[in-house]
């Protein structure tokens, strides 16, 4: 692994090389990381692995034309400069293709955890072994299909011909479990849980929490029966809020989706797009956030950004190109790694808690479905969604009955306006989302 | 500004893969343990147009050597970003250390690796040089033209995009027990999408194709223009379409949906690692799992038609790929194996060990999965349905260990009184895979590969293909209440 300062020096050298080859503007972004992982399969330790890789992404501009090439290995960096220029030589020009000038970047102090850097493969194997034992001890009916524990240290750097020169380092440890419960002939559906922490001393408690949640989820899908068909209430778990509700909404908040006409919310800035109970914030400077950082993929400063306030759309997400076209300041939302051109995205997501305890949120409806996993198709362009509730429960007069083969269908944008409750509890999802459960109304539900 | 020296702007040649193989062979030495060395260079060239703008023209080059060492009944894996002998030898030691660390905990040791048919020599895929020799500006022009024609395809079209990718792969695989092979192949992909809008309502049309082979193979069945026209037509027609009423329905699945069904709902449940974890296919070898009309296979070769997107002559353990019968005459005949699972199940490996890139260890993955053609006439199959649907155009899907599946359908056309009728939209179908296989009562004589532009996800992505004939069966349809 290459440290942040050395990585930045390599980026700066490559900027000079690409300029010497004829580039008018150059941006070189680099990532370097050392990671160790222990993989679980079939309730057993499977493979321990290590990897050490450094990648570079070179973006060049010449006569308004842009080329991008990415390589791994510092020895291939010069070739990447040539390849990016070869692409720019045949790409059509765009007058807005320009790299951003430097902006002041406020420090975001995060020293990589020394203990995590020293964590050896033997220690990770011990942790993975204890995770296996804990799942078995909690309930022998739960089977781990795959899982893992991983630790990594990494650095990133960015240099550009416009004068940007930034670098930072980080570390994290993550774990995940994927599997199902089997009780005789009763095979539950697949379920999944994961956790990400920033320090070695947080890893063991995180693993314990992970096994507890995973076992509970898997057991919840045993003994399922057919649900019921009706139009009515859904309670979306924080995981489903993240993957389904926000997973569809966020892409259409990007300024690119607005510019290209893909976003149905293009004309809705300052207008209500959801019930008043919804407040959505992107915070890339969250001290414990796993997606936190001082600068974005283009070297623009990051800042806390309210996206939706009491249901009203506050802003779109801009990278340097879209900001230039829209004649606004970039919002620091250029995302991604060295292996691709920057794309627009968010960092740590927060939805403000409501005032209804989770249990009450589930108990209040006469009839409804608790959705803990959604497997289906949805389109933010049309708003339509349709799919199967996995690991779901029928909520009826305070009772919670596990159900199978229940399909839901509707429209995302109607759903946002139909929010009837937000839980007062927040769940931390991999350190990059703090989300409540959300209750929505008037959804088409079809039992198998 | 310094003028551009055109000599300096030529992309470097692909790595000489057979020379790399010789280098790796020298690194094997005598280690005592089983050692597998796999150099993998992947070069991906991508072009994307959207609303008249070239959004991306990129080249991604990633290469390195993945090393597996079997020590103390456990695999250790490590990778390095080159085929440099000193780096590869150091990486072998890292992999050995990783294996040693985990072997104390692993309960079920790897006793042996199955395989008597390990590959030797070089395997050259179709179209590699032809596609790499074709100028980049021609590919940019194609995507530009397809996007602009789709955007102008109908008055209701408000948005269009087009993407072209080509994925070049060069691999060299050597193992201490005799595999010694290299391969090169290329997989191009092309996709067009269009959005139609009317009175605030929007619908998306989408067409894509992906092959293992060259340019002519990619556009053999349909030109870029035809694919664009079909995407436009789909978006426009869907504006008129209503949602279906939910419930159980008699349907005819088009080859694309058959492909998705056999991949998601059957293929994953017969991957030996899922079987060992208790998938619904466990213990069902030799048992009836479907109608006797059903013959289902997974193959590294491109059966019936050239260019299937998951075609692979040798897997990433150096095992020659063959056609694997999964279901024959409705009876489950085989799981899909790597060398480790094959030894555990007491069978031969099926050539299904695949790694996405050099830094990924091989997993059991599908290749080209399909139902074999039957003897029915497609028109006849429609005429025998009084009330049902013809389902075409997969929109993604998932399956569960129980065989329960769900996937989206792009175009669902109603069948009334034995005739094709109106289009419906927003359709999701679900069911239990083997129940659906039991409900099959007709299979057509046709055959198409139709999933070649897709990727399968299982921790790592994999390029796969799937397809088959038209299949008549019963499924659950998601819709309004």
Residue A270 neighbours by CB distance under 10 Å: 9
Does A443 lie in the same domain as A357? Answer: yes
The answer for A 336-375 residues in CB contact with B (under 8 A) is: 339-341, 375
At residue A114, the pLDDT reads: 87
- Count the residues in chain B: 481
Which residue, of A197, A220, A243, is where some domain finishes?
A220
Inter-chain CB proximity B277 and A42 less than 8 Å: yes
Does A401 lie in the same domain as A374? Answer: yes
Residue B441 contacts by C-beta under 8 Å, 6 or more apart in sequence? Answer: B291, B293, B472, B473
Of B101, B277, B480, the CB nearest to A409: B480
Residues of A within 8 A of B476 (CB-CB) are 405, 407, 446, 448
Distance of alpha carbon A317 from alpha carbon A294, whole angstroms: 17
Chain A: closest CA distance from residue B167 (Å): 14
Give residue B130's domain range: 10-240
Chain A: closest CA distance from residue B304 (Å): 31
Inter-chain CB proximity A180 and B401 less than 8 Å: yes
Residues of B within 8 A of A129 (CB-CB) are 105
How far, in Å, are B188, B462, B463 from residue B48 at the CA level? 14, 21, 20
Average pLDDT rounded to a whole number, residues B445-461: 90
pLDDT tens string B392-414: 988 877 777 778 888 888 889 99
Q: Inform me whether the pLDDT recorded for B481 exceeds 50.
A: no
Inter-chain CB proximity A376 and B136 less than 8 Å: no
Q: Is A336 helix (H, G, I), strand (E, B) or coil?
A: coil
Chain B: closest CA distance from residue A382 (Å): 5
Q: Inform me whether the pLDDT recorded for A383 exceeds 70.
A: yes
Does B316 lie in the same domain as B285? Answer: yes
Tell me, rounded to whole angstroms, the distance of Cα A280 from its chain centroid: 15
Residues of A within 8 A of B461 (CB-CB) are none
Average pLDDT rounded to a whole number, residues B352-362: 96
Distance of alpha carbon A433 from alpha carbon A15, whole angstroms: 35
Does A372 lie in the same domain as A301? Answer: yes
**A with B: how many residue pairs have Cβ under 8 Å apart?**
277
Categorize the per-residue pLDDT at B256 as very low, low, confident or very high, splitting at 50, 70 and 90: very high
Average pLDDT rounded to a whole number, residues A174-203: 90
Residue B368 contacts by C-beta under 8 Å, 6 or more apart in sequence? Answer: B298, B299, B300, B301, B302, B303, B308, B309, B310, B311, B449, B464, B465, B466, B467
CA atoms within 13 A on the CB side of B107: 8
Does A70 lie in the same domain as A186? Answer: yes
DSSP at A246 = I
In a domain, B1, yes or no: no
In a domain, B282, yes or no: yes
B182-220 core/surface letters (b: 16 or more CB in 10 A; e: else)? bbbbbbbbbbbbbbbbeeeebbbbbbbbbbbbbbebbbe
- Range in A326-335, A370-379, B185-194, B446-455 the model is least confident about: A370-379
Q: Which two tokens stand for residue A366?
A: 């006469």
B253 strand-pairing partners:
B391, B471
CATH classification at residue B197 = 3.30.2290.10
Does B343 lie in the same domain as B205? Answer: no
Torsion of CA B355, B361, B364, B365, to 10 degrees: -20
Distance of alpha carbon B312 from alpha carbon B352, whole angstroms: 10
Residues of B within 8 A of A91 (CB-CB) are 54, 57, 140
Average pLDDT rounded to a whole number, residues B111-121: 88
- Count the residues in chain A: 448
Does A238 lie in the same domain as A208? Answer: no
Q: Inform me whether the pLDDT recorded for B11 exceeds 70.
A: no
Distance of alpha carbon B445 from alpha carbon B200, whole angstroms: 43
At residue B21, the pLDDT reads: 94
Q: Inform me whether the pLDDT recorded for B328 exceeds 60.
A: yes
pLDDT tens string A306-354: 999 999 999 999 999 999 999 999 999 999 999 999 999 999 999 999 9
Residues of A within 8 A of B459 (CB-CB) are 146
Within an 8 Å CB–CB cutoff, is residue A184 touching chain B? no
Q: Where do the H-state alpha helices sit in A311-408? A: 320-326, 358-363
Within an 8 Å CB–CB cutoff, is residue A179 touching chain B? yes
Average pLDDT for chain A: 93
Within an 8 Å CB–CB cutoff, is residue A154 touching chain B? no
Inter-chain CB proximity B98 and A121 less than 8 Å: yes
Of A44, A62, A180, the CB nearest to B107: A44
Does A431 lie in the same domain as A338? Answer: yes
Cβ atoms A43, A134 nearer than 8 A: no
Chain A: closest CA distance from residue B131 (Å): 16
Distance of alpha carbon A205 from alpha carbon B447, whole angstroms: 54
Does A254 lie in the same domain as A111? Answer: no
Inter-chain CB proximity B478 and A379 less than 8 Å: no
Categorize the per-residue pLDDT at B278 as very low, low, confident or very high, splitting at 50, 70 and 90: confident
In a domain, B4, yes or no: no
Q: Inform me whether the pLDDT recorded for B224 exceeds 90.
A: yes
Residue A185 neighbours by CB distance under 10 Å: 5
Give residue A90's domain range: 4-220
Q: Inform me whether the pLDDT recorded for B145 exceeds 80.
A: yes
At residue B326, the pLDDT reads: 98
Cβ atoms A38, A119 nearer than 8 A: no
Of B3, B61, B204, the CB nearest to A22: B3
Does B194 lie in the same domain as B110? Answer: yes
Share of chain B above pLDDT 90, in %: 78
ipTM of the complex: 0.92
Q: Which residue of A has its CA nearest to B106?
A: A45
DSSP at A301 = B
Which residue, of B240, B270, B294, is where some domain finishes?
B240
At residue B1, the pLDDT reads: 36
Average pLDDT rounded to a whole number, residues A171-196: 90
Within an 8 Å CB–CB cutoff, is residue A47 touching chain B? yes
Does B202 lie in the same domain as B311? Answer: no
Average pLDDT rounded to a whole number, residues A251-266: 95
Residues of B within 8 A of A262 (CB-CB) are 159, 195
Does B384 lie in the same domain as B399? Answer: yes
pLDDT tens string A282-299: 999 998 899 999 999 999
Inter-chain CB proximity B428 and A387 less than 8 Å: yes
Does B61 lie in the same domain as B23? Answer: yes
Which residue, of A205, A220, A235, is where some domain finishes?
A220
At residue A49, the pLDDT reads: 94
Share of chain B above pLDDT 70, in %: 96
Does A19 lie in the same domain as A101? Answer: yes
Please tell me the total count of domains within chain B: 2
Please tell me the total count of domains within chain A: 2
Q: Is A60 helix (H, G, I), strand (E, B) or coil?
A: strand
At residue B5, the pLDDT reads: 43
Does A232 lie in the same domain as A194? Answer: no
Chain A: closest CA distance from residue B303 (Å): 30
Residues of A within 8 A of B60 (CB-CB) are 69-70, 339-340
Inter-chain CB proximity A448 and B430 less than 8 Å: yes
A152-169 core/surface letters (b: 16 or more CB in 10 A; e: else)? bbbbbbbbbbbebebbbb
User: Which of these, B379, B370, B438, lies nearest to B252 by C-alpha position?
Assistant: B379
Question: In the block, which residue shows the tokens 């449940």?
Answer: B269
Q: Which two tokens stand for residue B410?
A: 């792009």
pLDDT tens string A103-145: 999 888 778 888 988 888 999 999 999 999 999 999 999 999 8
At residue B431, the pLDDT reads: 86
In a domain, B3, yes or no: no
Distance of alpha carbon A243 from alpha carbon A445, whole angstroms: 19
A427 strand-pairing partners:
A435
Cβ atoms B224, B146 nearer than 8 A: yes
Distance of alpha carbon A81 from alpha carbon A26, whole angstroms: 9
Residues of B within 8 A of A69 (CB-CB) are 58-61
Within an 8 Å CB–CB cutoff, is residue A53 touching chain B? yes
What residue ranges in A245-292 does DSSP mark as E strands? Answer: 280-282
At residue A98, the pLDDT reads: 95
Inter-chain CB proximity B54 and A91 less than 8 Å: yes
Residues of B within 8 A of A52 (CB-CB) are 79-81
Chain B: closest CA distance from residue A424 (Å): 31
Of B101, B400, B427, the CB nearest to A121: B101
Of A182, A376, A445, the CB nearest to B481: A445
pLDDT tens string A216-231: 989 988 888 888 899 9
Categorize the per-residue pLDDT at B2 as very low, low, confident or very high, splitting at 50, 70 and 90: very low
Q: Which two tokens stand for residue A382?
A: 């049309």
Distance of alpha carbon B288 from alpha carbon B438, whole angstroms: 9
Average pLDDT rounded to a whole number, residues B428-457: 92
Within an 8 Å CB–CB cutoff, is residue A272 touching chain B? no
CATH classification at residue A51 = 3.30.2290.10
Q: Where do the H-state alpha helices sit in A295-417? A: 320-326, 358-363, 412-417
Distance of alpha carbon B84 from alpha carbon B64, whole angstroms: 9
Residue B396 neighbours by CB distance under 10 Å: 16
At residue B479, the pLDDT reads: 60
Of A50, A62, A76, the CB nearest to B61: A76
Distance of alpha carbon A442 from alpha carbon A232, whole angstroms: 4
Distance of alpha carbon A29 from alpha carbon A41, whole angstroms: 36
At residue B346, the pLDDT reads: 95
- CB-neighbour burial class of residue B73 (10 A; exposed 0-12, middle 13-18, buried 19+): middle
Categorize the per-residue pLDDT at B9 as very low, low, confident or very high, splitting at 50, 70 and 90: very low
Does B202 lie in the same domain as B129? Answer: yes
Chain B: closest CA distance from residue A106 (Å): 30
Average pLDDT for chain B: 91
B298 strand-pairing partners:
B324, B369
Residues of A within 8 A of B411 (CB-CB) are none
Q: Which residue of B has its CA nearest to A32?
A: B81
Inter-chain CB proximity A49 and B12 less than 8 Å: no
Does B236 lie in the same domain as B287? Answer: no
The answer for A 378-417 residues in CB contact with B (under 8 A) is: 379, 381-382, 384, 386-388, 390, 404-405, 407-409
Inter-chain CB proximity A70 and B61 less than 8 Å: yes
Of B1, B277, B480, the CB nearest to A143: B277
Average pLDDT rounded to a whole number, residues B154-164: 96
At residue B13, the pLDDT reads: 59
Chain A: closest CA distance from residue B84 (Å): 12
Does B161 lie in the same domain as B30? Answer: yes
């Amino acid at each position: 692994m290459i440290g942040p300062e050395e990585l930045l020096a390599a980026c700066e050298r490559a900027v000079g090389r690409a300029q010497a080859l004829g580039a008018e503007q150059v941006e070189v972004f680099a990532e370097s990381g050392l990671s160790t992982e222990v993989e679980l399969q079939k309730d057993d330790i499977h493979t321990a692995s290590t990897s050490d890789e450094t990648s570079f992404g070179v973006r060049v501009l010449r006569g308004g034309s842009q080329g991008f090439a990415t390589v791994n290995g510092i020895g291939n960096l010069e070739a990447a400069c040539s390849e990016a220029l070869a692409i720019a030589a045949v790409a059509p020009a765009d007058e807005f293709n320009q790299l951003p000038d430097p902006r002041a970047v406020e420090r975001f102090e995060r020293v990589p955890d020394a203990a995590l850097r020293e964590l050896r493969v033997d220690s990770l194997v011990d942790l993975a072994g204890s995770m296996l034992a804990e799942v078995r001890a909690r309930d022998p009916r739960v089977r781990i299909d795959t899982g893992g524990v991983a630790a990594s240290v990494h650095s990133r750097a960015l240099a550009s011909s416009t004068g940007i020169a930034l670098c930072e380092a980080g570390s994290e440890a993550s774990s995940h479990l994927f599997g199902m419960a089997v009780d005789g002939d009763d095979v539950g559906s697949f379920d999944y849980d994961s956790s990400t922490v920033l320090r070695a001393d947080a890893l063991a408690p995180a693993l314990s929490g992970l096994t507890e949640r995973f076992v509970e989820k898997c057991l919840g899908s045993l003994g399922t029966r057919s649900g019921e068909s009706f139009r009515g209430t859904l309670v979306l778990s924080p995981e489903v809020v993240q993957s389904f509700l926000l997973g569809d909404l966020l892409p259409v908040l990007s300024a690119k989706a607005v510019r290209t006409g893909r976003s149905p919310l293009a004309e809705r800035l300052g207008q209500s797009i959801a019930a008043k109970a919804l407040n959505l914030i992107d915070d890339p400077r969250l001290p414990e956030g796993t997606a936190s950082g001082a600068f974005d993929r283009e070297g623009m400063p990051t800042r806390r950004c309210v996206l939706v306030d009491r249901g009203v759309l506050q802003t779109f997400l801009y990278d340097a190109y879209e900001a230039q076209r829209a004649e606004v300041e970039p919002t620091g939302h250029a995302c991604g790694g060295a292996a691709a051109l920057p794309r627009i995205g968010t960092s740590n997501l927060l939805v403000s808690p409501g005032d209804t305890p989770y249990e009450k949120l589930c108990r209040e409806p006469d009839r409804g479905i608790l959705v803990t996993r959604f497997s289906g198709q949805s389109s933010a362009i049309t708003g339509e969604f349709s799919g199967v509730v996995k690991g779901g429960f029928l909520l009826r007069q305070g009772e919670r009955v596990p159900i199978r083969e229940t399909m839901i269908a509707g429209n995302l944008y109607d759903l946002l306006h139909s929010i009837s409750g937000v839980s007062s509890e927040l769940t931390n999802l991999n350190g990059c989302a703090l989300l409540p459960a959300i209750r929505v109304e008037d959804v088409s539900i079809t039992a198998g | 500004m310094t003028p551009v020296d055109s000599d300096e702007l030529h992309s470097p040649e692909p790595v000489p893969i057979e020379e790399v193989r010789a280098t790796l062979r020298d690194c094997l030495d005598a280690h005592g343990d089983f050692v597998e060395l796999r150099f993998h260079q992947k070069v991906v060239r991508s072009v994307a147009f959207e609303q008249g703008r070239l959004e991306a023209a990129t080249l991604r080059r990633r290469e390195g050597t993945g090393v597996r060492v079997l020590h103390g009944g456990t695999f250790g894996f490590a990778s390095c970003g080159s085929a440099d002998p000193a780096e590869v030898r150091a990486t072998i030691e890292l992999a050995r250390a990783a294996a040693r660390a985990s072997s104390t905990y692993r309960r079920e040791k790897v006793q042996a690796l199955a395989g008597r048919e390990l590959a030797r020599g070089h395997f050259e895929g179709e179209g590699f040089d032809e596609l790499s020799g074709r100028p980049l500006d021609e590919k940019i022009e194609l995507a530009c033209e397809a996007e602009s024609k789709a955007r102008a395809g109908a008055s209701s079209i408000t948005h269009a995009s087009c993407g072209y990718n080509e994925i070049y792969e060069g691999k060299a695989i050597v193992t201490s027990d005799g595999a010694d092979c290299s391969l090169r192949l290329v997989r191009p992909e092309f996709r067009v999408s269009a959005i139609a809008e009317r009175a605030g309502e929007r619908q998306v049309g989408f067409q894509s194709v992906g092959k293992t082979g060259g340019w002519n193979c990619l556009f053999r069945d349909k030109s870029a223009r035809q694919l664009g026209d079909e995407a436009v037509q789909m978006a426009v027609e869907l504006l008129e379409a209503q949602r279906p009423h939910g419930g159980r329905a008699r349907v005819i699945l088009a080859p694309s949906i058959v492909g998705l069904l056999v991949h998601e709902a059957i293929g994953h449940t017969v991957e030996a690692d899922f079987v060992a974890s208790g998938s619904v296919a466990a213990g069902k070898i030799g048992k009836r799992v479907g109608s006797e009309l059903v013959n289902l296979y997974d193959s590294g070769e491109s059966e019936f038609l050239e260019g299937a997107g998951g075609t692979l002559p040798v897997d990433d353990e150096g095992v020659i790929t063959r056609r694997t019968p999964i279901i024959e005459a409705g009876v489950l005949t085989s799981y899909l194996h790597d060398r480790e699972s094959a030894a555990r199940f007491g069978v031969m490996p099926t050539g299904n060990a695949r790694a996405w890139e050099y830094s990924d260890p091989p997993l059991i993955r599908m290749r080209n999965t399909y139902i074999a053609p039957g003897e029915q006439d497609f028109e006849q199959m429609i005429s025998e349905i009084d009330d049902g649907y013809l389902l075409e155009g997969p929109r993604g899907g998932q399956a569960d260990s129980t065989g329960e599946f769900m996937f989206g359908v792009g175009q669902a056309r109603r069948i009334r009184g034995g005739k094709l009728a109106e289009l419906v939209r927003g359709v999701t179908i679900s069911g239990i895979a083997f129940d659906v296989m039991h409900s099959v009562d007709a299979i057509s004589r046709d055959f198409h590969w139709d999933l070649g532009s897709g990727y399968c996800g299982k921790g790592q992505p994999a390029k796969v293909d799937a397809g088959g004939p038209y299949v008549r069966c019963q499924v659950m349809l998601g819709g309004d209440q």
